[in-house]
Structure 1
Amino acid sequence: MKCPFCSHPDTQVVETRVAEDGGFVRRRRQCGNCEKRFTTYERPEVSLPVIVKKDGRRIDYDRSKLRGSFSLALRKRPVSIDKVDMALEHVEDKLRTLGAREVQTHLIGELVMAELQKLDKVAYIRYASVYRSFEDIDQFKSIVDEVTTPPPEPKKDGVRKKD
């Protein structure tokens, strides 16, 4: 693999990790010339569905657009690149699992929101406000309440506690 810093053709793998879900291999490499380190990812090349836009246009799936959406929502938030990469993998895995040749953009938006909700609540609210085109403060309040409301207490003996 060619070094992205000095273009030297000789790089060495210094560490290899398989992702938790086994979907890709992460390799740390070091250049034999400038000695800088960089990361590469190996993943199987499986075609993802064509994306159908709201206006009916069809475009090829573009990972960089999805990464851009995550980056914008997570701007200045304490979330590591590795966690973002895992979220991207989860979205892509779900798209592959569908087995569909075409997917509407709203489905991708919902998948992104689900991953953002797990990663960072502020980023989730940012993304949802744009994705769902919030027009007033009540819509913001509703989604903030959604992420701040504690989950219901678990059932004991099949009976839920009364409020």
Structure 2
Amino acid sequence: MKCPFCGHTDTQVVETRISEDADFIRRRRQCAACEKRFTTYERPDVSFPAVVKKDGRRIEFERAKLRASMNLALRKRPVSTEQIDGAIERIEEKLLGLGLREIPSHRIGELVMRELKKLDKVAYVRFASVYRSFEDIDEFKTLVDEVRR
């Protein structure tokens, strides 16, 4: 494994842990050259369904895009990285469990909203207001009222 700090290829595994649900392995590594530590994750390489956008384009599912959109909604909110990782894992498990070759982007958006609603109500409202493209304040008010219930 190449060191992300100095590029040296000689790194040692210092600690190995299996996740609670045994879906991935977390390894702490140390570079032999600069002695800095970093974390790597090992998870099975699986094929996610292609994402079908509103305009009909098909793109590859990207975990980084999912994380970025969730992080944007959760910006400055009291939600830990571990909680976000767990939500992303649940979304990915759901996508794989569906067994589809393609999935409409709106279904992924609904999965994200469901996870955000569990994590943080403010983040849920932030995401939903952009995702659902509200046209007026009444739609926004309806969503807020729904969250309050």
Deviations 1:60-87, CA, capped at 9 Å, x for gaps:
1111111111111111222222222221
Matched, 1:31 2:31: yes
| 1:41–1:148 Cα change, 3 Å | same
Deviations 1:80-128, CA, capped at 9 Å, x for gaps:
2222222111111100000000100010000111111111111111000
Deviations 1:13-56, CA, capped at 9 Å, x for gaps:
22222222221112222222222221111110110001111111
Q: How many residues align?
A: 149
**Alpha-carbon distance between aligned partners in 2 of 1:23 and 1:141, rounded to the nearest angstrom:** 39
Residue number in structure 2 paired with 1:7: 7
| 1:49–1:123 Cα change, 3 Å | same
Matched, 1:71 2:71: yes
- Tell which deviates more after alignment, 5-14 or 45-54: 5-14
Q: Over alpha carbons, which structure has the higher Rg?
A: 1
AA partner of residue 104 (structure 1): P
AA partner of residue 126 (structure 1): R
How far residue 146 of structure 1 moved from its aligned partner, in angstroms, is 2.1
**Alpha-carbon distance between aligned partners in 2 of 1:109 and 1:138, rounded to the nearest angstrom:** 21
For the residue of structure 2 that corresponds to 1:41, the secondary structure is strand
For the residue of structure 2 that corresponds to 1:28, the secondary structure is strand
Residue number in structure 2 paired with 1:108: 108
AA partner of residue 3 (structure 1): C
Identical amino acids, percent of aligned pairs: 70
Residue number in structure 1 paired with 2:20: 20
Residue number in structure 1 paired with 2:95: 95
Residue number in structure 2 paired with 1:159: none
Q: TM-score, normalised by structure 2?
A: 0.92
- Tell which deviates more after alignment, 138-147 or 82-91: 138-147
| Consecutive unaligned residues in structure 2, runs of 5 or more | none
Matched, 1:80 2:63: no
For the residue of structure 1 that corresponds to 2:8, the secondary structure is coil
